[in-house]
Structure formats: structure tokens, C-alpha cells
Structure 1
Amino acid sequence: MMISKNYDVFLFDLDGVIYIGDKALPGAVASLKRLREEKKAIRFLTNDPCVTRETIVKRLHKLGISASIDEVFTAGWATADYLVSEGIKKAYILGNDQLKSEIQKAGIDLTEDQAEAVVIGWDQNITFQDVHKAVNLIRCGASFIAANGDKTFPAANGPAPATGAIVAAVKTAAAKEPIIIGKPASSIFEKVLESFEDKERCVMIGDTPETDIVGANQIGITSVLVSEQNTLFPAKHDFRNPDVVIRDLKDLFDNEIKAEVRKKPDFQWTEQVKAGVAGIIIKESSSVLLMKRADNGLWGIPSGHVEPGETVEQAIIREIEEETGLVVKVSKMIGVYSDPSSQTFIYPDGRVSHFITNCFQCDVIGGTLKKSTEEAMEIRYFDIHELPEHLLPMHPRWLDDALEMKENAFIR
């Protein structure tokens, strides 16, 4: 059955899907009109932080496309909505007049003085001094919010720096991660979909894998990529891979083109893969050393990441001494673990990393076990048959594999 028949709610990106510049793309006007005639719900989502919803509606009307203000969701409007939901009254804005207008209409005072939030949008006139002010406010406690994280946008003379370029400058100097509002962040999708109960009847149609497709796959709705090329990313569960590729919106009514919806991954999307290490210390009395992590309150095996210039063995020896006070040597490797369902870690500041973890069995050769450290609220040994309930999700597998190796060693 054609795509148009399978769904009741159609979410559309704008630039590159409905229009480019001031011209509608081939088939866009007729396709949207046909969806209206078939009583489909239509919503328009754009990461452009430089336009108001009223501006978008006027642009669509000029192209002959029916649209109401309630059907349009811009990164600027969603940012204003987020600020209101967080109770923010004062904000410092790095953005153009339309973004500032959208935020002002939400009842928020635009000021540098005692700003509770810094909002990054886009304006070609932003200066280094503006960035400096934003950094100082964030370092003094203001929330760091970005209308989107887009690195570039298309321009006549090639890709031009977008909001993400300004965000990167502020993030580097402020040493803090921003809260991203626009696609692919889930918040804007959740806002759009809150009035629709059945996600299985919703579809996102966009032209950018990193925003439109990742966002749809994260929220769990069908993803359709508008592209002349059918090139996919090599990993099967890469969130940038759509459920189907179409050339233009006319393909929504082609009986030969079907969206074969894949099962959505059960882990958070991340753009970075890191090397990690873990060390299992088992006493002869069959007890294992665990630490209650200060960052999330969960129990786990001493673990961490590999620093530049280290081998994985050097890394786990260093991590264990830093986290517990014990000096160890590596006796054997338990395994290398990379399943993103259990190896994707979300930091308190919102960063997401997928770790490939080298897990070792380690023997204590010195040092003194501390009761707590900067990384651990509590450190102690547990009987391997009476482990605490609140273990980090990946650690039971590591322990099981280590214990199986230990038992097999006795048999040999």
C-alpha cells in the first residue's frame, strides 16, 4: 500500500522538502493538496531560528500551500515554549529580531542583566563580544539553550556556518553542553505529537539524515528521506538511516514505494564512540569489589575511559587507583563489549557516549581501599551471590563472564 494510505499524520521539514528559497519543489503543492483532500493531518517543522510561524504561513500561502499557524513548529517558537515551561523570565539572546520577537511574545524579558538563560540562534551580525557575554553568563549559572545544533545551512556560494557553529564557540569557552531544542531533539517532536495518540500512524518526511531522520527514529515514528540518492549509512541500526527513500513528494502516492518500518533501536543516539575499560577484582572468598558511583548513585565495577597516550591496561590500572585507592595488576582479559543497548551512557549534562569497553580481571598488589572518593560515594566488597539491586545495566554481563571464566579455570 502506498505511503499516503498507511499514515494519518504527516510531519514535513520545509527547506529541501517543500521549497528551496522562494520556489516550491516539484510535486510539493499538488501532493500537500491531495493529502488535505484525504483528510490527513499535516504539520510543518523547521529548524530555522530566524523566522516566526507567521512568516512561514505567509511563505506557504504565497506558494499556493494551505497552512495555519497552529500547524507550524519552528525552532524559535519551540525555544520560547521551552523557556516558559522552565519558568524562565529573563534571557540573553544571540539571534535575529524574529527569534527575539518570538521569545518576547512568550512574555520573556530580553536582557543581559541577571539573565536566567542564554539562547543561541542565528544572526550574521553576532560578534565575538556577544559570544563573550554569553559565555560569562553561562559560567555564572545561566542555562545554556540552543534553538538547534545545525552546523551549516545551504548558501549560494556553498555551505555557510549555522547556529551550531555559534553553539560550538560558546560551548568550548563555557565548558558546558547546551540543551538543544530543534530537530533531532525529542522535545520538538513531543510537542508536535502531543495531540496525536497513535505514533504508528505518524510519519516524518525530511531531507537531512542528521536532523529529520535521527529525530523521527529517536521518537519512534516512521522516517522518510527525500533524496536523489539511495545511499545509506553502513550500520544497520544507525539512526540516520530512514525507513524509506523517496525522490519527491509525488512518491508518497506511488504504489510501488512502501515504507518498511524497522524496529527502532532501544538505545540513545550518539555521534561518538569511545574506548572504555573496566576492572573486576574478585577475592578468594568469592566477593567482588563494587563502587556506588557519585554521578548516578548506581553500583558498578570500577570503570572509566582511555586517556590519550595510554594502553587499555594502563588505563584500567589508573582508573582503579583513582576510584578506589588500590594498586592492581591485570591478570586476564574478560572480554570486549560494544552492544549499544548496554554500552551507551548518558551523562548528567546530557552528553551521550557509546563505549567499547575492554573488561579485565585484576589482582590487588598494593594500596589501601578507600571508603569513598570523588568518583564513588561508597566502595566495598559484595558476596557474588548477594549483589546490590541497583547495578549499572552492563555490569551483570561482565560479572557473569568473569565468574564463568573463574569456574572453568578450576575445572582445568
Structure 2
Amino acid sequence: MIAPAEPTRPVRRDWRQGLLPPVVAWLIANLITWLVARASVNRDGIRIAYWSTADRHRWDSGNYLSIAKTGYEMFWCRERYANFPDVLCGNAAWFPWYPMSVRALSATGISYEISAVVITEVSLFGMFAVLWWLLGARLTWATGLTLAIGTVFPGGIYFHAIFPIATGTLALLVCIAGVKRDSWPIAAAGGFVAASCHPVGAVAIGMLPLSAFFAWQRDTWPIRCAKAGLSAALAACGVLWSKWLIWQATGHWDAYEMFQKSSFQQGDVRQPFEEMRNAYYFPFSDWYKPKGHLPWLVEHSLAAHRTQLWLNIAFVLLILATAAVRLTRNRRLEVEEWAALILTVSIFLLPFFAGAEKSWYRNHAQMFVGLVLVRSMPRWIQVPLLAACSIQYALLGAMFFDGVLV
């Protein structure tokens, strides 16, 4: 006869291995970010209050909050501001999932600003939880170091800001999880949310058709193609839904494209290496320098976007090398590894083809999905990568809190 206590043992063990590591990772990520904030100052030379919503608010945050509060609008700037350039103003260049989530949560009585931070932090915890599941939910040196790198991931300061970066990254991880679980509805749902969070999320629409070649292995080729195609089509509906909402408010189906071209001179395909060069030399530190005496971290962080680019390039090359080694040795990659590989390379390249010299570093933060392959790297690579990411996280984090980054 089985003793009553016996069945509870696996449950407790599963809880510790399945939930505790993501919780610890989320707490450490916030602790590190708080320490970076403590070592930074804002544009008036005042120390950062990490737990305030104001110090998580940067540039585009205002556009997301305005969509949440009053919806979309687009107008010629000179109609309201006489001395403004003759370009389009408004918020039609920002996607709706994140601000609509903020609006939904604010209906409970919480302020829009606090709602935005709550959604961001919940999304970040979700990122660690889904990543942990994709890593096998088993604590080893490889998975522990991978999770540690995630707490200081390059560009990850935007996982705490009033931006859709954490929510979009979570959606991409859910998309990968759906492909791994052989569930096209989950993959499609993740792709839909990713594509309606941020333009970078559209990479899921490109990855899902390719999944017919590495996923859905239990099905025949027609069924595999149908699952891949249907999940991609439903993910693409995220873009259509976004454009529909903007059209409803502005009267223009191409309002997003109009805004990008008028205000940001974007919309055409760029020369990627030229855009990479422009991104590297963009003079962020000329825009703003804090008043008074600068803390050491602030003084050394005003050009941190340059080391950020080198680290991002190294990360992508390591991901490609890891995939190549695994293909050489094992003749195959796991389903989730193929998906993560395609998404990571696409996320890296997209800003340089689209032209995002002032915002590529936060777009690249969504390469967090590449951590699925970091698990397979040898420890002698994981440890230096963790050290490099930790240093760079502090530098770019200070650059963010200083108010230099957009």
C-alpha cells in the first residue's frame, strides 16, 4: 500500500525545478537593474528612483501611453505647432498590443503608468518561465548559466521600461514553444501577439512557414505545410489587426508607412552595412550630458551603444557557430533550436535593413530567444559571455537611465 506522502514528492520537486529558477532569475534581473539605477543620474543630475514609473519612461513610452489613454491620432505638426517642421505628428507609428493591454489593466483602477510597468514586469517573468521550459526545466551548469545570461541580456534594460519589448519577446518565446509542442494554435497566437507588439515581431511570420522543414514531424508533408502556413497566416493577422486599428482612427490604411516616411525617413530597404556604420557612430552623447559631477558609471556609459553593437555581433556569431557545431556532430538541431536560430538572425538583421540607427539596440534585445541555443555552448564560452553581458548591461543601463537613449 502506498503511503500518502509518496505522491507529493515529485510535485514538490517539479515545483522547485519548474518555477523557482524563473522567479530567482526575475528577482536577480530587477536587483541588478536597481543597482545600475542607483549608480546613475538623470538629466538634472538627480539620482534615479528605480521603483518610480517616471524613470522607466523614455521617448516612445509617451506614445504607447497616449495610445492606451486616447487611442491613435495622426496630424500635420504645423496644424498645432507653428514652428514645427512640416512632418506628421501623432502616434500612428507604434503598434497596439502593448498599449491595449495597458488600457485593459488600467480599467481595474490602476494608473496607466503603473499598469504599463506591471505588464512589462509580468512579461519579463513570463520570458524566464517559458525560456526555462524550453531549456528542459532542469537545473544544470548549462541551463543555470543560460538563465544567468538572460538576467543581464544585451539591451535587456528595455525589459523593465515602458516599452513592448518584454511582451514581444515573451510572445516570440511562446511561438517557439508552440512549434516545439507541435501546437500550431499556440505558435500562431505567439506570432500574432509578437507581430502586433512591435515591427520586429514580424520575424515570426517568416519563421513559421519555414517550420514545415523542421517541425510537425509526426505529420505527413501536406499536413506539415498546412500547419506551418496556417500558423503563419494567423500570425500575420497581428499586423492586419494593427493596421485596422490605426486606419479606424486616422482614415489611412497606410498611416504607419506615411508616418515612418515623413517623420523618420524610413520605409525603404537600406544598405545594412551602411546602416550598421550609422548606428555605431550615432552621436548619442552629443544630445545630452547630465549636469554637475558625473558618477563613474555614467561618465563611461555615454557611448555604450558602440560596445553594445560589438557584443550583439559576437552573440549572433556564437549562435551561428553553436548551430553549425551541433549540425556537424549530431546531424540535427532540435525543433526549438531551429526556430530560435531563424528568429535570432532575423532580429539582428531587420533593423539594419529597415533603418533604425537610433533604436536598433532595443530591437536587438529580442534576440533573447537565442538563449535556447546558448544552453548548448561549452562552459568556457558561457562564462566569458556572462561576464561581457554583465559589464555591458551596466553600461547600457546607465546610458538609458541618463536619458541618452531613445
Q: TM-score category by the smaller chain?
A: under 0.3
The structure having more radius of gyration, on CA atoms, is 1
Higher strand share: 1
Please give the TM-score of this superposition, normalised by the length of structure 2: 0.24
- TM-score under structure 1 normalisation? 0.24
Looking at secondary structure, tell me which structure has more helix per residue. Answer: 2
